[in-house]
Amino acid sequence: MTDVVETETRVSPPRPDGLRGFASDWASDQRTFKNVSWGKAMMWIFLLSDTFVFGCFLLAYMSARMSTTVPWPNPSEVFALNIGGTEVPLILIAIMTFVLISSSGTMAMAVNFGYRRDRRKTALLMLLTALFGATFVGMQAFEWTKLISEGVRPWGNPWGAPQFGSTFFMITGFHGTHVTIGVIFLIIIARKVWRGDFDTEKRGFFTSRKGHYEIVEITGLYWHFVDLVWVFIFAFFYLW
């Protein structure tokens, strides 16, 4: 029995890098993700599963668009806004893209300040990120309202293939839901940061585990993923 205790505390030898390290990390009888905590690893695996969800949505959209005999509505015209008498193509979507990228930038800096244990800056940057996220959802609500008032429905629209509406509402709706959940998640963690929970390692009320600034990075992973999905939606749905 004492042997077991001994191996627990022994300092591990330096791990090989590259493919050799990959093989040895995945070898049996040990934990695979060496310097990644369970929280971070599980967030990554959740994001992987979410990738498949969005991947399937985009695939369904691709199949619908490729197999329809009716022309697909031109997104460049559908999402144009009339500004000062001229139709500017896709302008709202472009602004939404910039807003989301800005929120990713502030989130990355929040993670950085979190690890420097700068409580104030971390919380403020997270709240700024949440604000950008809320702005994004607001603009999306505006976009939905505009399209619905123009007659876009899940079963049809005035410009062409009826599948346009259903794929649009499904994909952007699911993405908007992710952004909304992210905003809530950000506000909850920002409040904890502000209160100093991670400086005192206060235990969480649900998990009763000690709080660490790492949760800021995990929140950041989720948030960057939301931005990442938007990159693909922007490319495939709006620009294609």
Partner 1 sequence: MTQPATQPAVHTEHQEHPIKLYLVVWGLLFVLSLCSYLVDYVGLHGYLRWSLILLFMILKAGLIVAIFMHMAWERLALIYAIILPPLLVLVFVAMMVSESHYVLLSRMTFFGTGP
Can you give the binding site for partner 1, defined by CB under 8 A? 14-19, 21-22, 25-26, 32-37, 41, 44-45, 47-48, 51-52, 55, 59, 62-63, 66-70, 76, 89-90, 94, 97-98, 101-102, 104-105, 107-109, 112, 115-116, 213-214, 217, 220-221, 224-225, 227-228, 231-232, 234-235, 238-240
- Pick the closer one to partner 1 by CB: 16 or 148: 16
CB of 210 vs partner 1, minimal distance in Å: 13
* Closest to 202 (Cα-Cα) out of 194, 192, 214: 192
- Pick the closer one to partner 1 by CB: 3 or 29: 29
Query: Please, how many CA atoms are within 13 Å of residue 69, restricted to the half-sphere of its CB?
Result: 0
Q: Which residue has the tokens 């699911």?
A: 174
Q: In the chain, what's the furthest Cα-to-Cα distance? A: 81
* Closest to 107 (Cα-Cα) out of 231, 225, 232: 225
Q: Which residue has the tokens 């998990």?
A: 207
With H, G, I as helix, E, B as strand and everything else as coil, classify residue 180.
helix
CB of 137 vs partner 1, minimal distance in Å: 19
CB of 169 vs partner 1, minimal distance in Å: 21
CB of 41 vs partner 1, minimal distance in Å: 7
- Pick the closer one to partner 1 by CB: 1 or 11: 11
CB of 212 vs partner 1, minimal distance in Å: 9
- Pick the closer one to partner 1 by CB: 63 or 145: 63
- Pick the closer one to partner 1 by CB: 55 or 148: 55
- Backbone Cα Rg of the chain: 23
Q: Which residue has the tokens 């934990």?
A: 31
* DSSP β-ladder status, 81-83 and 86-88: antiparallel
Q: Which residue has the tokens 């690893």?
A: 41
Distance CA 93, CA 228 (A): 15
CB of 2 vs partner 1, minimal distance in Å: 28
- Pick the closer one to partner 1 by CB: 107 or 190: 107
